[in-house]
A and B are shown apart, each in its own frame.
Chain A
């Protein structure tokens, strides 16, 4: 969904989207976040995103809604008693809202996980600390290589009777440790070669840059402008108390009609990447 955006725009959207989800507690905002996060998960990951939503996020909502009233007995509208403990409407609502919030943050990140690629994060990290960015990128590259090496080592160990796929648990874990020990020796000895090779190619010399294909386009500029302006407008509403919502002792909130303008801006904000992509698609279709 963010394919053609600059890392800075992607990162800004991810930060602001999760921040706003946690910031605005009003149920009207929560519903908008949930729907937008679901759309984002669907567009980024297809049906596996939806499956994730239904399989993990929805049960989470239920767990919050059921567990909270059982451990939290505050609130004034008592619905019924379980063993002298009052189950109140307010705490069910509070649990439900927590659950929806939890589910939407999880869904946002389910979608983002495909967009927050290592290249993008490294591009940003490179600005803060190039050495740390280098450590991260080397480490990311090494993980798949070490995984195949673990399989190789464990196959070799199997031939001398140190099997991790069957046997008693303690024995298997000890064999697992032997595999790790062999892996560490192999990886470290290799790493020295890598380090020497880096030196030979001029690591640490001045004037060297790293390769990337990102460019900050006009589109990124307008995207960031839209995000910042709408978020600033939302903060004004927030400061005025429009997202006010209190569960205990009784549910108190700003009337839905009063919040409506803020909710519309919020929806625009949450769906901004979608709108930008749709606009792009229409423009492309028309120009053909």
Chain B
């Protein structure tokens, strides 16, 4: 009951906030960050409500930590971060909800080591959504072969970069115009392409074997059993 009430409050509060922000010309960076933080709450509460067992929690924490530490194995290529690929692989095996959690946690933890910013909630949310979508698509039987997997990875990596760049545009530029949006996207284009390519490469070469490996561990120890 309490859960439904909070859901309803969030659903009412977000449009009010948006309208208020537009009417009073409040910096849209602030409004949208608050909206994003609020939209993460239902996911966390859903996880909390399931009263997860230790065996459900630990693999997510481990995979989030692997996602953060994974860039060390590729330290010889600058900007090569397989973090999103590891989140996608986790989501495919452990499901949409675990994928969301793995995505948000890995971004948050990563920022503890590489520096927080106002973009932290944005990264958390969008990486979480990527995990959620990967889990959802996998449950529908898609993402089965390496080509679909790496295509999804490329799109996810690029959209992630572009989505987080939105914050830079709407928070720091006084008047949002096509020119400023294009300017920021051109400035960040190569970073986003490298991120997308890293994700796609990882999933193409190692995606299916690692998924098999995770499924074996899941079966062996009965993780996330219904």
A4 in the interface, Cβ–Cβ < 8 Å? no
Contact A187 B65 (CB under 8 A): yes
Smallest Cβ-Cβ distance to A151: which chain B residue? B72
Residues of B within 8 Å of A101, CB to CB, are: 171-172
How many A-B contacts at CB < 8 Å in the complex? Answer: 195
Contact A203 B54 (CB under 8 A): yes
Contact B116 A112 (CB under 8 A): yes
Interface string of B71-112 (1 = CB under 8 A from A): 011101100101000100000000000000100011011001
Complex CA–CA separation, A94 to B175 (angstroms): 9
Contact A146 B183 (CB under 8 A): no
Interface string of B13-29 (1 = CB under 8 A from A): 00000000000001101
Contact A132 B30 (CB under 8 A): no
Residues of B within 8 Å of A94, CB to CB, are: 173-175
Q: Which of A176-224 contact B (CB under 8 A)?
A: 176-177, 179-181, 183-185, 187-192, 194-196, 198-199, 203-204
Residues of B within 8 Å of A147, CB to CB, are: 69, 72
Query: Do A140 and B112 contact each other (CB < 8 Å), given the known contacts A22-B29, A187-B66?
Result: yes
B47 in the interface, Cβ–Cβ < 8 Å? yes
Contact B105 A23 (CB under 8 A): no
Contact B206 A136 (CB under 8 A): no
Smallest Cβ-Cβ distance to A116: which chain B residue? B116
Smallest Cβ-Cβ distance to A183: which chain B residue? B66
A113 in the interface, Cβ–Cβ < 8 Å? yes
Q: Which of A67-90 contact B (CB under 8 A)?
A: 67-68, 71-72, 74
Residues of B within 8 Å of A203, CB to CB, are: 54
A250 in the interface, Cβ–Cβ < 8 Å? no
B162 in the interface, Cβ–Cβ < 8 Å? no
Interface of A is mostly: helix
Complex CA–CA separation, A245 to B82 (angstroms): 43
Contact B115 A184 (CB under 8 A): no
B140 in the interface, Cβ–Cβ < 8 Å? no
Query: Do A105 and B213 contact each other (CB < 8 Å), given the known contacts A94-B174, A169-B77?
Result: no
User: Chain A's nearest CB lies how many Å from the CB of B131?
Assistant: 13
Question: Which of B29, B53, B61 is A142 in contact with, Cβ under 8 Å?
Answer: B61
Contact A129 B48 (CB under 8 A): yes
Contact A136 B57 (CB under 8 A): no
B144 in the interface, Cβ–Cβ < 8 Å? no
A272 in the interface, Cβ–Cβ < 8 Å? no
Query: Do A204 and B182 contact each other (CB < 8 Å), given the known contacts A19-B30, A94-B174, A180-B66?
Result: no
Contact B58 A138 (CB under 8 A): yes
Contact A247 B70 (CB under 8 A): no
Smallest Cβ-Cβ distance to B206: which chain A residue? A177
A154 in the interface, Cβ–Cβ < 8 Å? yes
B145 in the interface, Cβ–Cβ < 8 Å? no
Query: Do A72 and B105 contact each other (CB < 8 Å), given the known contacts A113-B115, A139-B61, A173-B201?
Result: no
Contact A132 B54 (CB under 8 A): no
Contact B214 A165 (CB under 8 A): no
Question: Which of A131, A136, A138 is B108 in contact with, Cβ under 8 Å?
Answer: A136
B118 in the interface, Cβ–Cβ < 8 Å? yes
Residues of B within 8 Å of A139, CB to CB, are: 61-62, 64-65, 68, 105-106, 109
Shortest 6 CB-CB contacts between residues of A and residues of B = A142-B65, A138-B61, A146-B69, A195-B54, A195-B58, A191-B62
